[in-house]
Amino acid sequence: MTAQILDGKATAAAIKSELSARVAALKERGVTPGLGTILVGEDPGSQKYVAGKHRDCAEVGIASIQRELPATATQEEIEAVVRELNEDPSCTGYIVQLPLPRGIDENRVLGLMDPAKDADGLHPTNLGRLVLNEPAPLPCTPNGIITLLRRHGVEINGAEVVVVGRGVTIGRPMPLLLTRRSENATVTQCHTGTRDLAAHLRRADIVVAAAGVPHLIKPEDVKPGAAVLDVGVSRDENGKIVGDVHPGVREVAGWISPNPGGVGPMTRALLLANVVEAAERAAGVADAG
């Protein structure tokens, strides 16, 4: 038995086509959603991700606002661009591409963003709203993972989920989404301090592997039929993506997300969804999430 594929590329394409229709409806009311990106430094990976986000925008009719600063930019220079996008009415949502260069206080920069324009769902106010069960833009990767599972009919309600990793973009918010009443999963969070990762993995119906450790999840540790989401992005010596999930897991799991082609495209699609939703809310469109 080989696992069925959680096809992030196809699912993201479907979401983008739904978003295109919502963008067209906004434009008829005279509103064009605009996504801003703030990129600091010349990291080729980050440049590639940001370029991908603007390509997605063009696809669904969202305007692109790109701000680039050199790696030597100061805290004040970065904060000035944040203030500029807060004030810019054509920018309905934006992200600060992470990580920022060493020496920059990342949390301070994120805290200065207008929470109503936070397309990543990582502003402290929005993370707080999530904890308090109040409506807020949702963190894109965790939201993408849940959307990917739902659209493939994988049962989340009552499932035992193991999240591996405790990073701010995935590991920490993922359990917050999964334990909402609408998801109703039981979550175990594992991390580098976990004594016996394999013991937890063996009981999991769903594994979210977001540790950034190549091939951490081994076939012998996965429960047959489980859904396994490979979120890790490491690179081998040729620059090829190596995920957190060992290729042998395909023979044991019931569902697996390829990497690339799984969670990455979903992250980008749900980012666009946050931008469209924020523009709808600002335009007073009912039912904006």
Ligand X SMILES: Nc1nc(=O)c2c([nH]1)NC[C@@H]1CN(c3ccc(C(=O)N[C@@H](CCC(=O)O)C(=O)O)cc3)C=[N+]21
Q: Which residues are catalytic?
A: 53, 97, 120
Least Å distance, CB 198 to ligand X, is 26
Chosen residue from 120, 183, 221, 244 binding ligand X by CB under 6 A? 120
The Cα–Cα gap between 141 and 147 comes to 10
User: Does 212 appear as a known binding residue?
Assistant: no
The Cα–Cα gap between 94 and 5 comes to 31
Nearest residue to ligand X on Cβ basis? 264
Q: Is 97 in the site for ligand X (CB under 6 A)?
A: yes
Q: Is 171 in the site for ligand X (CB under 6 A)?
A: no
Least Å distance, CB 239 to ligand X, is 9
Q: Contact region for ligand X (CB under 6 A) — 44-52, 152-160, 188-196, 247-255? A: 44-52
Chosen residue from 4, 20, 52, 215 binding ligand X by CB under 6 A? 52
Q: Which is nearer to ligand X, 159 or 174 (CB)?
A: 174
Least Å distance, CB 208 to ligand X, is 15
68 burial via Cβ count (<10 Å: 0-12, 13-18, 19+) = middle
Structure tokens at 142: 């965790």
136 burial via Cβ count (<10 Å: 0-12, 13-18, 19+) = buried
Structure tokens at 50: 């940001």
User: Does 233 appear as a known binding residue?
Assistant: yes
What is the side-by-side strand order in the sheet with 34-40? Answer: 63-69, 34-40, 93-96
Chosen residue from 49, 226, 228, 274 binding ligand X by CB under 6 A? 49
What are 141's strand-pairing partners? none
What letter does residue 138 receive in the DSSP assignment? P
Least Å distance, CB 163 to ligand X, is 17
User: Does 166 appear as a known binding residue?
Assistant: yes
Q: Which is nearer to ligand X, 40 or 197 (CB)?
A: 40
Which residue in the block uniquely carries the two structure tokens 């993995």? 201
Restricted to residues 129-158, the positions that interact with ligand X (CB under 6 A) are 140
Q: Is 101 in the site for ligand X (CB under 6 A)?
A: no
The Cα–Cα gap between 180 and 81 comes to 35
Number of residues forming the site for ligand X (CB under 6 A):
17
Question: Residue 217 contacts by C-beta under 8 Å, 6 or more apart in sequence?
Answer: 164, 201, 207, 209, 228, 230, 244, 245, 246, 249
Restricted to residues 254-283, the positions that interact with ligand X (CB under 6 A) are 259-261, 264-265, 267-268
Tally of CA atoms within 13 A in the half-sphere of 41 that contains its CB:
16
Numbered residues of the known binding site = 165-167, 233
Q: Which residues bind ligand X (CB under 6 A)?
A: 48-49, 52, 95-98, 120, 140, 241, 259-261, 264-265, 267-268
Numbered residues of the known binding site for NADP(+) = 165-167, 233
